[in-house]
Amino acid sequence: MTSSTPGKFARFKGNAAKIWRLSLPYFQSDEKWKARALLAAIVVLNLAAVYMLVLLNEWNRVFYDALQNKDQAVFWQQLGRFAYLAFAFIIIAVYKFYLTQLLEVRWRAWMTAQYLQRWLGHHAFYRMELARFEGRTAPGSTASPDNPDQRIQEDVNQFTSYTVSLSMGLLNAVVTLASFVGILWGLSGAFSFSLGGHDVTIPGFMVWMAVLYCALGSLITHFVGKPQIALNYEQQRLEADFRHHLVRVREYSEPIALDRGERVEKQQLDLRFSHVLRNYLDLIRTQKRLVWFTSFFGQAAVIFPFIVAAPRFFSGAIQLGELMQIASAFDRVQTALSWFVENYSTLATWRATADRLTHFEDALSRHEASLAPTVETTTSPDGSLQLDRLALALPQGTRLARASLQAHTGDRILVSGPSGSGKSTLFRAIAGIWPHASGGLALPANFRDEAMFIPQQPYLPQGPLRDALAYPEPASRYTDEALAQALRDALLPHLVHRLDEDDAWGQRLSGGERQRLAIARVLLKQPRWVFADEATSALDAPAEQAVYDKLSALVQRRNGALVSIAHRPGVAAFHTRRWTLEKRPQGEETVYTIQAGALTS
């Protein structure tokens, strides 16, 4: 055993454990009895299919012997027997296919639901993207997986499909081997030869020839096809990156057109597609080499048993029917032993898919393991918002800002400071989505239900306008009049008659309209606490004044507070206090501290 063998075995065990961890949960879930029943039925049908092959193998001997002996009665009898054997085999094949597909789709549905719940739960989708695009803080930590949408949509589908088909194929190969190896052993006879003056006899010669033939084939197949695993993994990643950039061009079509960026986007798409093509060409070259060998291997297997058994046939030791039975049995044994050869390309794709899913699973598990809150959140006894030595950091670990502040009902606070000082990050920490924060945070009772945050770039889902306005709540909670009034209050009266119009509103509306629609959401839902992050940056001064009048009146009527991030001086007129982020040197770092004070004109 070489020094690398224990390491390879350990990696194999680790990979097997990860794949088992992906596969097992469904069969232990709340759907376990249905899943196990389907699996058991598929196993039974596979065993029945192999049994039918054994009967057909026996039929081969009787039928061809009848042909050789010109026995017409037996000939027609065997044709009738073949009819019901074939009919039974067809029924088994149809239901095996149907139940296999049913298990695959149920398993996929369950895994997709689980991954969607975990990916969307506890802001995992946000934090994983944050880790991917802004870097991990912990040294040596693994990068966040790319394209989680592909993992959930495509990889889960391929994993369930390939796992069921490959495992059932392997089971079928094992049972077929067990069923036919005895038949072939009994039919093949012994092979005798002299070696060094001694007579040597090898019983079950055809069996040993099949084993040798397939063992050599499997070794050569693995040597030729092994590069496919890495190439398949890379192909899926590159295809996803290319598709992702195409979607971005569609989403940002207007700014790209205004900047006349078609040439740059074409270059970027050409570059990504060239990577796709280059890797795909490498993949098909590897597949071509494998097809060369497997095609030769398969064709040689057709005549190999006849060559080996021909001397016994021509000597009269066996008849034509027995020769055909030997060939049929050898084909079954060889096919069973060649399962690895025949399925190597599929195994390579499955392995790459499983690796991508285990990477995604590991990322989700790391996220779930890090859910222990670093900010101690309590309920404020006096209904105020209190920041107690709240410290903010960047994902790389660099300290950003710290604050000990209070916001009371009735306050209207303007947050100001240099770009990049942490104003938006402060809002994210108050919202509870920023993972790189520590300290204490005391929130008013029901704060999460009574606070709304208005980002500078609001998200508008595709669909009816009423759904975009009520998001994330169902539009059915609100009357048409309430929806229309919110649009009018946000200076969008021209959209009132389009509530039921289905469109991609994030691309259809202008920047100012998108911001006003986000403000219309606030006016519709009437929260007590409103946090506006450059929420009117795309509006002209009169429109900005009009919507801030509405927001100020809302929080005053609801006995709440308004906290805004804005750089325009006109916004200050709607606020009474200011939180200012100021630089404070801390050793080699510069940390912003947030100072509270009255707002002076």
pLDDT exceeds cutoff 60 at 133: no
CB atoms inside a 10 Å sphere around CB 348:
23
Tell me the pTM: 0.72
Stretch 177-202: mean pLDDT, rounded?
A: 69
CA distance 152 to 173: 31
* Position with higher pLDDT, 82 vs 395: 82
Once rounded to an integer, what is the mean pLDDT over residues 544-548? 94
Rounded Cα–Cα distance for residues 64 and 293 (Å): 32
Residues 139-175: tens digit of each pLDDT: 334 456 677 877 888 889 889 998 998 888 888 888 8
Region for 526 from its dihedrals, namely left if φ exceeds 0, alpha if ψ lies in -120 to 50, beta otherwise = left
Quick one: pLDDT at residue 137?
39
CA dihedral 365, 371, 374, 379 (to 10 degrees): 180
Asked if residues 297 and 238 have their Cβ atoms less than 8 Å apart, the reply is no
Lowest mean pLDDT among 218-222, 453-457, 475-479: 218-222
Q: How far apart are CA 525 and CA 515, in angstroms?
A: 16
Say if residue 201's pLDDT is above 50: yes
pLDDT at residue 588 in the model: 60
Out of 347-351, 405-409, 589-593, give the one with best mean pLDDT.
405-409
Cβ–Cβ under 8 Å, residues 85 and 56? yes
Residue 519 and residue 535: Cα distance in Å, rounded? 8
Please give the domain boundaries of the chain with CATH numbers for all domains.
18-369 (1.20.1560.10), 375-598 (3.40.50.300)
Stronger pLDDT, 165 or 600, i.e. the higher one: 165
- Give the tens place of pLDDT for each residue, 35-59: 999 999 999 998 898 888 888 878 8
SS (H, E, C) 127-154: HHHHHHHHCCCCCCCCCCCCCHHHHHHH
Q: What mean pLDDT value characterizes the chain?
A: 83
**Beta strand ranges found along 492-576 (DSSP E):** 502-503, 529-533, 561-565
